[in-house]
Amino acid sequence: MVRQTSEVWKHFTSVKPWDGKEYFICVYCGQKYSPNATKMQKHLKKCPKCPLFTNENQQQQRVQLTQTLPSLTEKEEPSASGASSGPPPSVYTQAKKLKPMECLVDSIDPDSQYRIDESLARAIYVSGLPISLLTNHYWMKCFAEMRPAYQLPTQEALTTTLLEAEFKRIRDKVNQAVSESQSLAIISDGWSNTGPNNIINFWVSTPHPLYYTNVETRDNQYTGEYIADVLSDVIQKIGPSKVFAFLTDSTSHMKQAWGILAQLYPHITPISCSAQGLNILIANIMELATIQRVYDRTKDVIKYIKNHQLVSATFIQKQKNKHKPDKLILPDETRGGNFIAMLNSLLQGRESLQELAITDNLNIEKIIRQTLLDNDEFWVSITRCVNLLSPITCALSTVKTNSALLSDIPQLFANLQKRILNEIPYSSLTKQEGERIQEFLFICSDFCLKPIHAAANMVDPRYRGEILNDEQIPEAYSFISFMAQHLGLDTGIVVASLAKFRAKEGLWREEAVWQSAKHIPATTWWKGLCSSEAIAPLATILLGIPPTTMSLQQNCTSGCSNAFQPHGLSSDVTRKLTMIQYNLKLLDPQCHKTTNISESTHIDQTYLSECFSSTNVTSAEKEIKFETVWC
């Protein structure tokens, strides 16, 4: 006769850690036991946290309950699986109307178990938590308290069956979005894996950016021909007729790939990353001798303050008393934006720093004291340097936002050039250095601006190409005509529609139509209000292409680098985790906040009005303005 499984097992949770040594946890007090039924029964009789026996009057119920447990021998052991044949245990302390044993038993059906597994795995994937999380004792105990009947998935399940199911779900959604989109842009960049191989990531803009795939270069040489082959494979997989642009960095190998792909797909336009161009502009300006002197002197002062504990603590306290930022920033050697932040942090602490310099007990070095107190030229040079470079860092911040469009770039560079040329006479630069900056601006503009940017600016209802110069306007018309031919549209009708749009005639004569463009994305404006016009399909394509890879790269790698790569996972698992994490934030409305169009419009307007305001401002006014307005 088969012995019935003892009820004692239903009051303990089976735990199987990574090392395979199974143990059991009391569902009431968390006491840990090896699988020995007799010892577990003895503990159960004495457990002080059983919810049914909370006072002396209930002790008799405890005796009655323990008498219902079958007599156990020392040799009785659990089943081979390490748990009872029934569901794992739990306790519901508020279930007073249930019979005593019913209150002590939790059950879970296979469907519920799988749904919880799926939700837990998804939470781990999207938040970038380590896969080894569920082997941690405290996490296991936490889940045992919440739902004892639930058995945590193993690390192997998280990287195999559960991962594959979630990856397939997300991949199907991405493929559906790609198949439903009539026009796409491919965005790519490279980032190093923790192993010896490099990874090339690929996104598609539908126009909403989706992480599409990545390619591990392995032992392939990183040449223009190889990159062209990889890009061509992605283009063919998506469908060449749907792809109208690819956005990449502008390394020499990428430029070689552009030339190869131009012959295969003449309708696909290569676009340089605008953020990369602006970073190069800042790096070039920082190499000028005058700017480098400001950088070196500022860094010396901040390093001295940071390296002397009493001086640093006194500065922080003085800044807190003044309700000002108390952090002095040292820049990353390769990031110009941090250089501006360093200068700004010093300006914000100027009053406190000068108070430090006259404090005798701090014993500040003479050269640092003289710099802070007696050298007005030091502070003036910092302010002038900030006034010169801050428009570039503001522009960089603008193009890196998710709301930035290809059409913004001509407007951005037109205003950027005006502001910087106005600042040069007020700066400390030599005449030759001022001329060099003008050369850098021209090179950066040529790097970032192509006919496709002018065409996008021309069809954007915010701009209508009003700032395009005499060279850009014919380039824009030529590009629009070429794209119309590729789409099989009547070029004459398309250009005529564009002319009415720019002249505000026909459909566009009503002011309400233009006012609506301030409240909705440009692509929605064309699709929702102007879809009957011949220029609408082409305008929708141009306004759906992002100007930079920077925001996509940051969003994709921010969580993956910390959670996925250090744990020795294969490149295939890392690829799937990356696709899940990035796309869940875009495809699941519960995982992210949608950017408010009014907020992004406000950012653009603030940038244009504050950073690129009227040039009729005196040098002193500019110094005051920087103290109050920092982009």
The residue written with tokens 């996972």 in the block is 569
Where are the extended beta strands (E) located within 305-461? none
Q: Which residue has the higher pLDDT, 265 or 109?
A: 265
Spatial separation of the C-alpha atoms in residues 444 and 250, rounded to whole Å: 12
pLDDT at 80 over 60: no
Domain boundary assignment for the chain: 7-103, 166-273+571-587, 279-449+611-626, 451-542
Name 343's Cβ contacts closer than 8 Å, sequence gap at least 6: 294, 298, 382, 385, 386
Pair 458, 465: CB distance under 8 Å? yes
Name 523's Cβ contacts closer than 8 Å, sequence gap at least 6: 207, 540, 543, 544
Angle formed by the axes of helices 309-321 and 289-307, to 10°? 100
Question: Chain-centre distance of CA 17, in angstroms?
Answer: 34
Spatial separation of the C-alpha atoms in residues 33 and 75, rounded to whole Å: 16
Q: Tell me, what's the pLDDT at 321? A: 92
Q: Which residue has the higher pLDDT, 592 or 69?
A: 592
pLDDT at 265 over 70: yes
pLDDT band at 590 (very low <50, low <70, confident <90, very high): low
One-letter amino acid for residue 432 of the chain: Q
Does residue 207 have a cis bond before it (omega within 30 degrees)?
yes
Q: Which residue has the higher pLDDT, 72 or 49?
A: 49
One-letter amino acid for residue 126 of the chain: V
Spatial separation of the C-alpha atoms in residues 443 and 577, rounded to whole Å: 39
Angle formed by the axes of helices 289-307 and 366-373, to 10°? 120
Handedness of CA 402, 403, 409, 414 (dihedral sign): negative
Q: Which residue has the higher pLDDT, 159 or 16?
A: 159
pLDDT in tens, 443-464: 999 989 999 999 999 999 999 9
Handedness of CA 592, 597, 601, 602 (dihedral sign): negative
Buried b / exposed e across 200-219, counting CB within 10 Å, b at 16+? bbbbbbbbebbbbbbbebee
In three-state secondary structure terms, 45 is helix
Q: Tell me, what's the pLDDT at 84? A: 39
Q: Which residue has the higher pLDDT, 155 or 420?
A: 420
Q: Which residue has the higher pLDDT, 52 or 245?
A: 245
Question: For residue 7, what is the DSSP state?
Answer: G
DSSP 252-273: HHHHHHHHHHHHH-TTPEEEE-
Angle formed by the axes of helices 350-357 and 309-321, to 10°? 130
Q: Which residue has the higher pLDDT, 1 or 459?
A: 459
Question: For residue 284, what is the DSSP state?
Answer: H
Q: Tell me, what's the pLDDT at 516? A: 92
pLDDT in tens, 292-316: 999 998 989 999 999 999 999 999 9
Q: CATH classification of 166-273+571-587, choosing from 3.30.300, 1.10.3470, 3.30.420, 3.40.50?
A: 3.30.420
pLDDT at 361 over 90: no
